[in-house]
Chain A
């Protein structure tokens, strides 16, 4: 196990650099320039000024030199400064990360709390009305465009019933509230975004759970357990459920990078200053250091998530042994 782990970690390093190199090339070779946003079609900006801006951003150097400079800085954990406003990339990421992680964690929690029982119940009552309605609802959530559902709910709960705020994460007079009201205020603002994002993700977990449960419940050892007269609940919740949860662990591992990645559409609709918009703005402005910073973080989390999923899988399921 230990040697397997060490091997896995060593493989991650070249993999990581491969991802980074390819991303760097693709982004720099895409048409458009970061100086463009600042100067395009502004008649007061002369060509000399544009050339000068490019030089200040270091864009006049050959691509390979730019990559070298950038990687040397990366080794020292320096992501550089954003082209948009010259603030350190890391500062900008730090500013956006908490709200994204909070919403993603809450919604993941909600998905697990609702999705797992839903999957189990519908598997146990395979083909029943409950099974059919619940799977219709979760697939409806999966298929429905986020922005559409969000707008409908904002219209209903925000405009017509006026029980929830429409957008943002805090009220205008937030600074003047006491601590208790502050928490309530944030909770009210987060209710819709968390619900909308959880609703879309319910299908995945509940269907995996449903499938896993079906497989386990129909397996020989469960049949044997029932045959020996063990109480139904004990078979289901003690023996079957534990094994049916194993695939969920893989999914959880794979959703780690998702925790720091936001969705552009979702954040735009709710006016939430999260990571998705940070990345989108970066791409639109050809803000190379910002894009690369986020890609580095994203790849680290993805690689680590995969590794964790593998390790956890082996740990909870003794049947799985990693050989050469």
Chain B
């Protein structure tokens, strides 16, 4: 335990005031710290002295709404995550732990989840939190008039019963294990929103939650200001203010870092390795390299005759050097991806190894499949048809464009002509992906913490607007996907997902390329950070700045 640091002005006081008084103060400080020390399992302890300061987070995009069930962009998600709580959350190792729920029980072979809620939790306006708030949130999620994109998981619920103020019973139509994770959805206050038109309410710009931070104000495209909730049920966060600054240009954001106008933001690989390599950055900031929750892939339209032969798809996988793409595009700050799960997930199958870059083997496979350069023009052909196709990707992502160019070069080397077409996002989705008007796409999936990926790989999910747009179909995978989402036992689920991982990898509906790293940078004065598989933000309320290092002293909490 550290003794609170004293600054010179405090020393004077110590000498003038009697020593008995000092003893009393010291004693009271020690006692007020004790509870924190006991519950603190992370090995450090802060005194109440370290409350204060402001963190300025730099972001390229503004939030859209602060009603959590309507928020679908990452900026809105970041802010809502500080203001609201779900029934469950994830710990540092991506395990589900209680948040607003005290505990839960899974009954009736997985059909029913019984939640016990925490008592003594209050909304930031003082009203008590109870089961009616959860019911209200659930009703809004399945209300056809509410513009929420999250209703899918909640429509699988057959009945929702409030047993008493602190007990809820949720029964599903059939056992649905991702259902538990879906209760990470932020719970909204019934008393504040009940009478509002949900899609137009003013509360979307002045939310009330149960979380560690309270909403203060929001200037569109400029900043969002949050202030610490001193009565937070897990204990007060140390940092007094959280300011989300919107700086839409990457270069400007970087210049702001250089003048310490921003404390916390994400870097590009180039910025991480080269531009922040100076003495100034090393002395002033901490950089981190953490896993991100997504992977990039080159997907084939499996309805296209060109890609129906497994040997052709395997050959393409052998012909593409993933490490080269990682080096060239992400400067080495990414990892090779082998399947539809991420290395941090418990569902990941470590025995699946990526195919080694081997253009010779690729050519052999293509020859077996009938593709050879018969007319000597440098391009493979079969039945007088040349091996040519177009890779499409969305505009505005230079990394994807560069990856597509590297692939183009590698495939040209073995005699495949590739064209690249780049289309603006919204048109790309509605005109090409939804209508299946593509041969190959370079895209990325960003995934939730629960491994269930039924919507991406199930053979029935191929209608317009659904997510199996590669038209992947394997009856064995189908039944495993269904079994996995009916099973709550993580070990059993792991076995299903490991098998799915293996099968999808060998079917090669796409070339799994890489999992990029997320590269946050944070001002050195912030202490208590714990880089974990789940990311950095999970223990944000424990971050602190010691008194002598606090920067924004002029900013005080207005009571």
Residues in A lying within 8 Å of B, measured CB to CB: 30-33, 36-47, 49-50, 52-53, 56, 81, 84-87, 92, 95-96, 147, 151, 154-155, 158-159, 162, 165-170, 172-173, 176, 268-271, 273, 277-278, 284-286
Contact = CB atoms under 8 A, between A and B. Distances in A.
Interface in B29-64: 54, 56, 64
A46 B424 CA distance: 22
Given A154-B255, A167-B256, A172-B555, 20 more contacts: A40-B425, A43-B453, A43-B456, A44-B153, A47-B464, A47-B466, A53-B147, A85-B65, A96-B220, A154-B252, A158-B255, A159-B255, A166-B255, A166-B256, A167-B247, A167-B252, A167-B255, A269-B251, A269-B252, A284-B425
Contacts of A168: 222-223, 245, 247
B552 interface: yes
Contacts of B445: 41, 43
Nearest to B216: A175
A56 B552 contact: no
Contacts of A36: 425-426, 429-430
Contacts of B453: 43
B427 interface: yes
B261 interface: yes
A46 B204 CA distance: 24
Contact of A42 (B72, B245, B247, B249): B72
A285 B64 CA distance: 11
5 contacts: A31-B431, A44-B455, A53-B147, A172-B56, A268-B252
A176 B554 contact: yes
B145 interface: yes
Given A41-B429, A43-B445, A44-B455, A271 B246 contact: yes
B152 A49 contact: yes
Given A38-B72, A53-B147, A154-B252, A31 B259 contact: no
Which 6 residue pairs spanning A and B have beta carbons closest together? Answer: A32-B426, A273-B221, A31-B427, A47-B465, A43-B455, A271-B247
Nearest to A169: B222
A38 B429 CA distance: 12
Contacts of B503: none
Nearest to A267: B248
Interface string B61-101: 00011000000100000000000000000000000000000
B467 interface: yes
B262 to A, nearest CB: 10
A81 B200 contact: yes
Contacts of A270: 252
A158 B247 CA distance: 15
B199 interface: yes
B255 A32 contact: no
A86 B248 contact: no
Contact of B252 (A39, A166, A172, A176): A166
A31 B430 contact: yes
Contacts of B249: 147, 268-269, 271
B149 A49 contact: yes
B527 interface: no
B468 to A, nearest CB: 10
Contacts of B248: 268, 271, 277
Interface residues on B, range: 35 or more
B243 interface: yes
B259 A46 contact: no
Given A46-B466, A169-B222, A173-B552, A31 B426 contact: yes
Contacts of A81: 200
Contacts of A46: 151-152, 455, 466
Interface string B133-166: 0000000000011011111110000000000000
A196 B547 CA distance: 40
Nearest to A91: B220
Interface in B248-299: 248-249, 251-252, 255-256, 258-259, 261
Max chain A Cβ within 10 angstroms of own Cβ: one of B219, B467, B555: B467
Max chain B Cβ within 10 angstroms of own Cβ: one of A37, A271, A273: A271
Interface string B527-559: 000000000000000000000000010111000
Contacts of B152: 44-46, 49
B426 A33 contact: yes
A173 B554 contact: yes
B483 to A, nearest CB: 19
A168 B247 CA distance: 8
B443 interface: yes
Max chain A Cβ within 10 angstroms of own Cβ: one of B200, B248, B552: B248
Contacts of A277: 221, 248
B463 A47 contact: yes
A85 B54 contact: no
Nearest to A55: B144
Nearest to A36: B426
Contacts of A50: 465
B235 interface: no
A46 B433 CA distance: 15
Contact of A95 (B220, B245, B246, B443): B220
Interface in B461-480: 463-467
B199 A56 contact: yes
B378 interface: no
A186 to B, nearest CB: 13
Nearest to B56: A172
A151 B255 CA distance: 9
Contacts of B370: none
Contacts of A49: 148-149, 151-152
B270 to A, nearest CB: 16
A44 B220 CA distance: 28
A173 B147 CA distance: 36
B200 A52 contact: no
A104 B64 CA distance: 27
B149 A273 contact: no
Nearest to A151: B251
A271 B147 contact: no
B328 interface: no
A56 B426 contact: no
A157 to B, nearest CB: 11
A87 B205 CA distance: 10
Contacts of B430: 31-33, 36
B257 to A, nearest CB: 10
A42 B555 contact: no
A37 B256 contact: no
B128 interface: no
Contacts of B554: 173, 176
Nearest to B429: A40
Nearest to B396: A284
Contacts of A173: 552, 554-555
A154 B259 CA distance: 11
Interface string B199-212: 11000110000000
B446 to A, nearest CB: 8
A158 B246 contact: no
A281 B466 CA distance: 26
Contact of A41 (B65, B147, B443, B464): B443
Contacts of B243: 172
A81 B251 CA distance: 33
Max chain A Cβ within 10 angstroms of own Cβ: one of B64, B72, B427, B465: B465
Interface in B455-512: 455-456, 463-467
A133 to B, nearest CB: 31
Contacts of A278: 221
Nearest to B555: A173
Nearest to B426: A32
Contact of A56 (B65, B145, B222): B145
A162 B82 CA distance: 33
A47 B455 CA distance: 11
A287 to B, nearest CB: 11
Contacts of A147: 249
